[in-house]
Homo-oligomer: A and B are copies of this chain.
Amino acid sequence: MRLSQYFLPTLKEVPTEAQITSHRLMLRAGMIQQIASGIYTWLPLGLRVLQNVADIIRQEFNQTGALEIIAPTIQPTDIWRESGRDNAYGEETLRMQDRHKRDYLYAPTAEEMVTLIARDYLKSYRDLPKTFYQIHWKFRDEIRPRFGVMRGREFLMKDGYSIDLSEDDAKQSYLKVMHSYIKIFRKMGLTAVPVKADTGPIGGDLSHEFHIVAQTGESGLYYDKRLTDLMQAPHDQVDVDAIMNIYAASDDLHNPDTYHGDTSLLEYARGIEVGHIFYLGTKYTEVLKATITDASGNQIAPHMGCYGIGVSRLVGAIIEACHDDKGIVWPVNVAPYKVGIININNDNTDTQQICGHIYQMLTQQNISVLYDDRDLRGGAKFADMDLIGLPWQIRVGQKGVAKGIVEVVNRKSGDMQELSADQAISFLNTALN
């Protein structure tokens, strides 16, 4: 994408309404536009990140055998009355009536919808296990929306729901999701800490929150260092059982007396909650009468689990975890573009030609590139490129081009290499493919 034809309304000033780093940086980088309190339009750059985050979740969740669906945002209140959850979210539920005066609500989660799938279509133990999920918009009418997309009212969530024959099977599904969450957050370049949690209005008796470590996190986390070592381990064989048994607690639930490990391993960090998983038991299948026939011919209520990830919240949380004083530092897999090309001397035909060549070659290699071909001075382009945080920058100026070199800069480390244009193309192709 050529920046002269793109839409990147960056701001030099720090917006006064934004209290936290990610909110400030998302506004300054032109990622979101506020429409009302807690309600945003996702502008082109922001939407690309949101889609990348969603795609990572979708790919990993599909690999577990989970099946994607889309449930309606507007749901009849009757089914929430039937499940007993009509008032579970209190005033956070956005309610409305249609033209026939029937009651509806904007769904904050989809347990009822998935239980209806089970009730209508899953008849036999042979139909299980099944996990359904959606990546879809939700609305919760927070009394004081704040922190940008970190605590918005309309937000994008991945919500998954497993349906199993027994409690044992359901806990296997729960572990499978834990496994996939560990892979998801690792793929996003984040350190995630799972901690035991309360179940709240969702119900059930087993629950974990996933926090990602960020200095600006809202929660305090105590955990045994072996946990994050395991979570960050580069191999694919994730030992979920081991992870489940290592000490981790949010500060409100932390009790030093229950920690039996080596105290020198007990760490403290700030974290941002980005995922929450629950074993639900038969709460929904019983009350909504979604029974199936087991192998002995008996009608039983299957066991469910539900699994959330705050997709739009993650965009903010990633920025909280990954930024410096110049702006955002995107992990490669979620970056809106992998490479930014800066033409420092925009009216120079040599730099134009080199930039055009690099842009064309990288694009042909399926590497996403944002090429800053605007008529601006180099300093403004450097500042914008640092602000929007693409992992790699290629700086092309007429002095370098005269010597046959361009500068390849790693946004995170700041390391700079002088390479020929073709070396730069080859280097980035190796680094990114």
Contacts and interface: CB of A to CB of B under 8 A. Distances in A.
Nearest to A6: B67
A99 interface: yes
A130 interface: yes
A41 B67 contact: no
Interface string A98-118: 110010101000000100110
A333 interface: no
A39 B77 CA distance: 13
Given A95-B96, A116-B35, A139 B67 contact: no
B72 A113 contact: no
B96 A35 contact: no
Nearest to A123: B9
Contact of A5 (B33, B65, B116, B139): B65
Given A94-B98, A99-B91, A44 B72 contact: no
Given A7-B121, A33-B120, A117-B33, A69 B42 contact: yes
B71 A73 contact: no
A68 interface: yes
A50 interface: yes
Given A68-B47, A70-B47, A113 B41 contact: yes
A409 B98 CA distance: 48
A96 B94 contact: yes
A69 B44 contact: yes
Interface string A132-170: 100001010101000000000110000000000000000
A40 interface: yes
B67 A99 contact: no
A76 interface: yes
Contacts of A117: 33, 41, 43
Given A33-B117, A99-B91, A141-B99, A154 B72 contact: yes
Classify the interface of chain A: helix, strand, loop or mixed. mixed
A5 B70 CA distance: 19
A74 interface: yes
Interface in A305-329: none
A20 to B, nearest CB: 21
A73 B117 CA distance: 25
A175 B35 CA distance: 31
A410 interface: no
For A69, A94, A102, the residue with the greatest tally of chain B CB atoms inside 10 Å of its CB is: A69
Interface string A18-60: 0000000000001001011001111110010010000000000
Given A95-B96, A96-B95, A143-B99, A72 B7 contact: no
Query: When A and B form their complex, which 8 residue pairs have the shortest distance between CB atoms, in order from nearest?
Result: A96-B96, A9-B121, A42-B70, A44-B67, A91-B99, A39-B72, A36-B76, A41-B71
30 contacts: A5-B65, A7-B121, A7-B130, A30-B121, A33-B121, A35-B72, A35-B79, A36-B72, A36-B75, A36-B76, A36-B104, A39-B72, A40-B72, A41-B69, A41-B113, A42-B70, A44-B67, A44-B69, A44-B132, A47-B68, A50-B70, A73-B137, A73-B154, A74-B106, A74-B139, A92-B99, A94-B96, A94-B98, A94-B104, A137-B137
